[in-house]
């Protein structure tokens, strides 16, 4: 396998997952749903959430294509539909709809599941949400069963999960540094970037289906 192909896939994978998960954007939500907990409790919750989310996404990467095959869904069709769904996520990010809705969902979930906030809502759906799962399936489809590319995908999932955990540990500082304006600007910029990636997935799926 050429080094260029491997490098391009690794870069696309990291950018896609980092933008969809948006670790920096999760910092304010993490603070709100762990309010009143000790520092050690927050650390435990942060790492546990990252590990659970990584496990979900890795399982998706390894078994998602197999499941699609059993359901009779071709990768081109999933790339097109997945691209449309990711574009919807990007649209919400640009308009500022997504962070507010997720924060409200998180607050409601904490009231109902105070002892399980690491698994829900932090790991699912905040980190490994529909957008991240869809992106992982799309990226896994791009590997075409190549073990090297699949290893790269799994490694990057782990890296993004670790970044999330570290952001959670530094959540207070991150939220303070970015401020409200910084969070809004960052979300808009990442939303535009994700929209471009989503369109590319639709183009790739269309070429494979009709080319």
For residue 137, which of 82, 87, 86, 90 has the smallest C-alpha distance?
A: 82
15 located within any domain: no
> Do the domain assignments include residue 5?
no
Please tell me the total count of domains within the chain: 1
59 falls within a domain: yes
The domain in which residue 151 lies consists of 40-210
**CA pair distance 6, 177, nearest whole angstrom:** 35
Residue 181's CB is within 10 A of a number of other CB atoms, namely: 8
In a domain, 60, yes or no: yes
Residue 9 lies in a domain: no
Domain-embedded: residue 71: yes
pLDDT level of residue 148 (50, 70, 90 thresholds) = very high
Confidence at 131, pLDDT banded by 50, 70, 90:
confident
pLDDT tens, 104-129? 555 555 444 444 788 877 898 789 98
Residue 111: inside a domain: yes
In a domain, 163, yes or no: yes
Q: Which among 22-26, 123-127, 154-158, 179-183 has the top mean pLDDT?
A: 154-158
Residues of the chain with pLDDT > 70, as a percent, come to 85
**How is residue 114 annotated by DSSP?**
G
Give the pTM.
Answer: 0.74
Number of Cβ atoms within 10 Å of the Cβ of 199:
15
**DSSP class of 124:** I
Per-residue pLDDT tens for 46-105? Answer: 999 999 999 999 999 999 878 878 888 887 887 788 788 878 877 877 886 655 555 555
């Amino acid at each position: 396998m050429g080094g260029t192909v491997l490098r391009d896939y690794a870069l696309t994978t990291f950018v896609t997952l980092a933008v969809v998960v948006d670790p920096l954007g999760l910092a304010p939500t993490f603070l709100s749903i762990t309010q009143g907990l000790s520092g050690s409790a927050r650390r435990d919750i942060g790492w546990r959430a990252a590990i659970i989310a990584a496990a979900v996404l890795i399982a998706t990467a390894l078994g998602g294509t197999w499941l699609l095959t059993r359901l009779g869904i071709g990768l081109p069709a999933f790339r097109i539909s997945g691209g449309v769904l990711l574009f919807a996520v990007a649209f919400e990010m640009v308009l500022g709809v997504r962070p507010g809705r997720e924060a409200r969902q998180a607050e409601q979930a904490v009231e109902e599941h105070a002892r399980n906030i690491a698994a829900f809502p932090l790991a699912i759906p905040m980190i490994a949400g529909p957008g991240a799962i869809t992106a992982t399936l799309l990226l896994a489809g791009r590997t075409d069963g190549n073990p090297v590319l699949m290893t790269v995908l799994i490694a990057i999932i782990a890296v993004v999960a670790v970044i999330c955990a570290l952001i959670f540990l530094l959540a207070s500082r991150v939220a303070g540094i970015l401020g409200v304006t910084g969070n809004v600007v960052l979300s808009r910029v990442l939303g535009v970037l994700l929209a471009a990636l989503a369109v590319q997935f639709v183009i790739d799926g269309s070429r494979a289906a009709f080319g």
